[in-house]
């Protein structure tokens, strides 16, 4: 079983990738999963929940990857490390998660073992798992691992763009330039190697762009959070309101 693949976009850059099924679903054996537990508005406009990613053969492959991780994490760790020992991966790049995220501390820790065991290969990832990275990665990051925190998740409020490498999804490249951010459109590696903050142009999927409504994802997430707080406050006021005993 070959664990690492190359899609058309990343292949032209010489990048390998590892994929899980995006966000939430059900495995063929009936188990429910969520590979993006900190997803926020991104789940509503995720490119990996559209198009070829939803083809039965593609989804089955991604679910097989997840099942392997869930059922035999030590075996998966050993096989991934062994596969990366092949000379073709020396001086190559691997993008961890073209879809999915570091859904548990155990899974993230397994990747860190793989990365430190294969120093000739360079790894990078987008992630919304800010708390997990603060705990497990930032104190002692592997020298061959780069990452960027992406907005649009439930942990956005933990990000500090003056200190963290961050990426945001904008309506288009013009909006990125107007905001003074730096597009990674020419190469996905610019997300981790180029200037920061990083701007990503939204995929041209009509229903997703309609939901985004001309906003960058960070502002969309902020609006959703504010609306949620308002609902909670209104519900709390209703509970506190004394009954009319007249």
Give the model's pLDDT for residue 246.
Answer: 45
pTM: 0.92
Give the model's pLDDT for residue 240.
Answer: 72
Does 245 fall in a domain?
Answer: no
Q: Percent of the chain at pLDDT above 70? A: 97
Whole-angstrom distance, CA of residue 5 vs CA of residue 56: 17
Does 244 fall in a domain?
Answer: no
Q: Which residues contact 244 (CB under 8 A, 6 or more apart)?
A: none
Does 238 fall in a domain?
Answer: no
CB contact at 8 A, 32 and 26? yes
Does 240 fall in a domain?
Answer: no
Tens of pLDDT, residues 132-173: 999 999 999 999 999 999 999 999 999 999 999 999 999 999
Does 144 fall in a domain?
Answer: yes
Judged by DSSP in three states, 130 sits in helix
Does 185 fall in a domain?
Answer: yes
Tens of pLDDT, residues 91-131: 999 999 999 999 999 999 999 999 999 999 999 999 999 99
In this prediction, residues 192-213 reach a mean pLDDT of: 96
Residue 55, Ramachandran bin (φ over 0: left; ψ between -120 and 50: alpha; else beta): beta
Question: Is 244 a residue whose pLDDT tops 70?
Answer: no
Whole-angstrom distance, CA of residue 76 vs CA of residue 78: 5
Number of structural domains in the chain: 1
* CA 153 to mean position of chain CA atoms: 9
Domain residue limits at 22:
8-231
What is the overall mean pLDDT for the chain? 94
Q: Which of 24-38, 47-61, 189-203 has the lowest mean pLDDT?
A: 47-61
CB contact at 8 A, 64 and 57? no
């Amino acid at each position: 079983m070959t664990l690492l693949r190359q899609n058309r976009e990343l292949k032209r850059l010489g990048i390998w990738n590892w994929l899980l099924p995006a966000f939430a679903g059900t495995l063929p054996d009936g188990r429910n999963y969520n590979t993006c537990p900190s997803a926020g508005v991104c789940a509503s406009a995720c490119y990996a929940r559209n198009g070829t990613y939803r083809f039965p053969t593609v989804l089955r492959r991604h679910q097989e990857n997840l099942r392997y991780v869930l059922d035999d994490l030590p075996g998966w760790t050993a096989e991934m490390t062994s596969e990366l020992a092949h000379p073709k991966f020396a001086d190559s790049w691997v993008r961890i998660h073209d879809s999915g995220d570091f859904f548990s501390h155990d899974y993230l820790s397994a990747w860190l073992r793989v990365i430190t065991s294969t120093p000739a290969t360079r790894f990078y990832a987008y992630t919304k798992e800010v708390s997990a990275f603060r705990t497990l990665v930032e104190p002692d990051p592997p020298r061959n691992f780069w990452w960027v925190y992406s907005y649009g998740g439930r942990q956005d409020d933990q990000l500090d763009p003056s200190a963290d490498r961050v990426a945001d999804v904008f309506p288009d490249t013009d909006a990125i330039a107007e905001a003074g951010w730096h597009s990674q459109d020419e190469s996905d590696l610019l997300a981790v190697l180029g200037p920061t903050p990083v701007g990503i142009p939204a995929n041209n999927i009509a229903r997703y762009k309609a939901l985004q409504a001309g906003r960058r994802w960070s502002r969309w997430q902020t609006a959703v959070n504010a609306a949620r707080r308002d609902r909670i406050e209104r519900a709390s006021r209703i509970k506190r309101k004394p009954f009319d005993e007249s």
